[in-house]
């Protein structure tokens, strides 16, 4: 029996009474039940923003060059990143605040934005979870999903449930079928992440692969220095594949 590690970050300060955490927990329960039928078990961990000290990005750009952030030792971001990198499935949740994702969610995304230059989450599956009173939920879900997809994550469409409009979070007849369906799609993406990539992800990979090939050619032919990012992409042999789907297959080993 295989074990699926599922980690959830919820960008809400409401802690145990967070609606978005409730959505995450309900999805995790549905996914665990379905995984069991497929012969797998799920280890689920959920952290809300109030449990963490996460500083704002200071725009020093060190992460883009070196892959590490000087703030990680001073706050909880290093630990949060480690938990995300160890997971097979990443849930990323946020409430809608003033028509956008919460500041806590954006603060975490800013601190991992350099992962988009490295496709760091390739080979993992994920889902964006959003709760709102009654507006902007779908837009926030789509925005969150697209940002995480640029980091390489394989993501089916996520979940957005509301407190004062349909689909209601607390109306189980409305919410449960959506949650069950999301659990199935997420489990499918975890089983075969290469089959759950978007055209935009393929295009984005192509751009990175071309840039890497060109920089490495200039390095070997003319001795031109390459950036640490290019060096890493070259070491990971990112350009040595026919498509991003191929690279994702290799990431899964």
Ligand X SMILES: Cc1cc2nc3c(=O)[nH]c(=O)nc-3n(C[C@H](O)[C@H](O)[C@H](O)COP(=O)(O)O)c2cc1C
Q: Which residues bind ligand X (CB under 6 A)?
A: 12, 14, 18-20, 95-99, 131-136, 163
Closer of 95 and 152 to ligand X (Cβ): 95
Closer of 28 and 239 to ligand X (Cβ): 28
Closer of 19 and 111 to ligand X (Cβ): 19
**Smallest distance, ligand X to C-beta of residue 26, A:** 13
Write the DSSP symbol of residue 154.
Answer: B
**Smallest distance, ligand X to C-beta of residue 168, A:** 11
- For residue 231, how far is the Cα from the chain centroid? 24
Closer of 15 and 177 to ligand X (Cβ): 15
**Smallest distance, ligand X to C-beta of residue 163, A:** 5
**Smallest distance, ligand X to C-beta of residue 133, A:** 3
Residue matched to tokens 């089959």: 195
- Pairing mode, strands 2-10 and 159-162: unpaired
Closer of 41 and 134 to ligand X (Cβ): 134
190, 4 in Cβ contact below 8 A?
yes
17, 102 in Cβ contact below 8 A?
no
**Smallest distance, ligand X to C-beta of residue 100, A:** 8
Rounded to an integer, what distance in angstroms lies between the CA atom of residue 186 and that of residue 66?
A: 32
Helix (H, G, I), strand (E, B) or coil at 45: strand
* Nearest residue to ligand X, by Cβ distance, number only: 95
Rounded to an integer, what distance in angstroms lies between the CA atom of residue 160 and that of residue 142?
A: 10
């Amino acid at each position: 029996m295989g074990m699926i590690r599922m980690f959830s970050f919820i960008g809400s300060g409401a802690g145990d009474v967070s609606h978005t955490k409730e959505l995450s927990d309900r999805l995790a329960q549905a996914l665990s039940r379905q995984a069991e039928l497929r012969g797998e078990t799920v280890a689920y961990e959920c952290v809300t923003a109030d449990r963490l000290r996460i500083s704002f990005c200071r725009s020093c750009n060190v992460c883009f060059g070196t892959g590490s952030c000087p703030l990680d030792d001073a706050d909880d971001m290093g630990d949060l990143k480690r938990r995300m990198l160890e997971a097979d499935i990443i849930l990323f949740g946020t409430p809608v605040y003033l028509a956008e994702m919460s500041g806590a969610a954006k603060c975490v995304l800013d601190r991992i934005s350099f992962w988009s230059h490295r496709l760091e989450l390739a080979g993992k599956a994920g889902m964006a979870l959003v709760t709102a009173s009654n507006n902007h939920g779908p837009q926030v879900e789509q925005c969150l999903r697209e940002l995480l997809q640029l980091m390489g994550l394989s993501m089916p469409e996520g979940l957005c449930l509301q407190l004062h409009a349909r689909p209601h979070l607390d109306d189980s007849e409305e919410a449960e079928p959506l949650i069950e369906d999301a659990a199935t799609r997420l489990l499918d993406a975890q089983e075969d992440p290469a089959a759950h990539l978007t055209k935009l992800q393929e295009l984005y990979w192509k751009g990175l692969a071309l840039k890497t090939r060109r920089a490495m050619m200039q390095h070997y032919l003319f001795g031109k220095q390459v950036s640490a990012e290019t060096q890493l992409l070259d070491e990971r042999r990112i350009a040595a594949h026919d498509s991003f789907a191929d690279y994702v297959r290799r990431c899964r080993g």
